[in-house]
């Protein structure tokens, strides 16, 4: 595509920053869920118990009961690890001035105690300069579509695939994680959500667009997809809670049946 002279560096920078902020919110939420405390003294309430409680007390109890259901969840951990590892990989098919996200001033924040690891930070001066020097290159590094069939051989003989731009990699890995979540917890309503997100991911983000003005549309689409992923985490949490409630009821029924059987046997 073509870029007109006089690219609005501020507008592009603001939109990239907006996306990074929303991605960081997702990282913070997943880290919180993975480390959330589990309150084992708060099992799901039965219908009879709820009748004897105020609405506010029920809400507080269920908040405790749901807490920690995703603690150390292997799928979420694996998904976010894949996302972080992919950020610094070289991709085939990148023809612009920039090959790594660090070239345009985007990197992972340094570890600090109490912070949510894995967030991205922006070197404002470096990103602004990159946008001014080669806006097409910045767009390509961010939004290049993935195509595993495209392979390049580096000077050292290493082969790399076209894993796409930064944003594309993030979503490709998150989609894989969503699929694993559905396989583990069942489809329910999530299959429609997955289908919708995957359909959007298959869009050709850049090559169909003719100017930098489409950046607003790209960022809006990606922002909506981050919301979809947040919804997925919320649905999974509730899905496990419902299953846990059903399990508790089943155990209760089994205990009642066992007690009845013991009473019957003791009568002989």
pLDDT digits (tens, 9 = 90+) for 136-178: 898 889 888 888 788 888 888 888 888 888 888 888 887 788 7
Query: Residue 237 falls within a domain, yes or no?
Result: yes
Domain-located, residue 190: yes
Q: Tell me, yes or no, whether 48 lies in a domain.
A: no
Examine the pLDDT at 26 and tell me if it is beyond 70.
yes
Q: Which of 173, 166, 102, 170 is nearest to 139 (CA)?
A: 166
Asked if the structure places residue 168 within a domain, the reply is yes
Residue 2 lies in a domain: no
Query: How many domains does the structure of the chain reveal?
Result: 1
Domain that holds residue 82: 9-36+71-266
Residue among 191, 190, 197 at smallest CA distance from 174: 197
With respect to residue 41, please indicate whether it lies within any of the assigned structural domains: no
**d(Cα 16, Cα 7) in Å, to the nearest integer?**
14
In a domain, 47, yes or no: no
Q: What is the pLDDT of residues 46-93, one digit of tens each?
A: 788 888 899 888 888 888 877 777 788 888 888 889 988 888 888 888
Question: Which of the pair, 123 or 135, is modelled with greater confidence?
Answer: 123
Q: Is 65 domain-assigned?
A: no
Give residue 246's pLDDT.
Answer: 52
- Average pLDDT estimate for 184-189: 54
């Amino acid at each position: 595509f073509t870029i007109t002279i006089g690219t609005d560096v501020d507008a592009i920078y603001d939109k990239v920053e907006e996306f990074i902020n929303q991605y960081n919110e997702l990282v913070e939420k997943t880290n919180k869920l993975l480390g959330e405390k589990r309150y084992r003294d708060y099992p799901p309430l039965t219908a009879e118990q709820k009748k004897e409680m105020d609405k506010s007390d029920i809400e507080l109890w269920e908040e405790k009961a749901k807490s920690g259901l995703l603690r150390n969840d292997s799928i979420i951990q694996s998904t976010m690890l894949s996302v972080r590892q992919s950020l610094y990989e070289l991709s085939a098919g990148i023809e612009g001035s920039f090959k790594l996200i660090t070239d345009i001033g985007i990197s992972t924040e340094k570890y600090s105690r109490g912070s949510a690891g894995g967030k991205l930070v922006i070197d404002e001066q470096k990103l602004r300069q990159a946008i001014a020097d080669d806006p097409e290159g910045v767009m390509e590094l961010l939004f290049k579509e993935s195509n595993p069939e495209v392979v390049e051989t580096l000077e050292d003989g290493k082969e790399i695939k076209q894993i796409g731009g930064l944003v594309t990699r993030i979503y490709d890995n998150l989609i894989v994680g969503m699929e694993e979540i559905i396989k583990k917890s069942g489809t329910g309503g999530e299959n429609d959500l997955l289908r919708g997100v995957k359909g959007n991911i298959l869009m050709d983000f850049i090559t169909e667009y003719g100017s930098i003005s489409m950046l607003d549309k790209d960022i809006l689409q990606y922002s909506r997809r981050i919301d979809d992923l947040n919804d997925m985490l919320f649905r999974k949490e509730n899905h496990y809670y419902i299953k846990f409630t059903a399990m508790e009821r089943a155990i209760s029924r089994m205990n009642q049946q066992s007690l009845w059987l013991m009473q019957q046997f003791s009568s002989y």
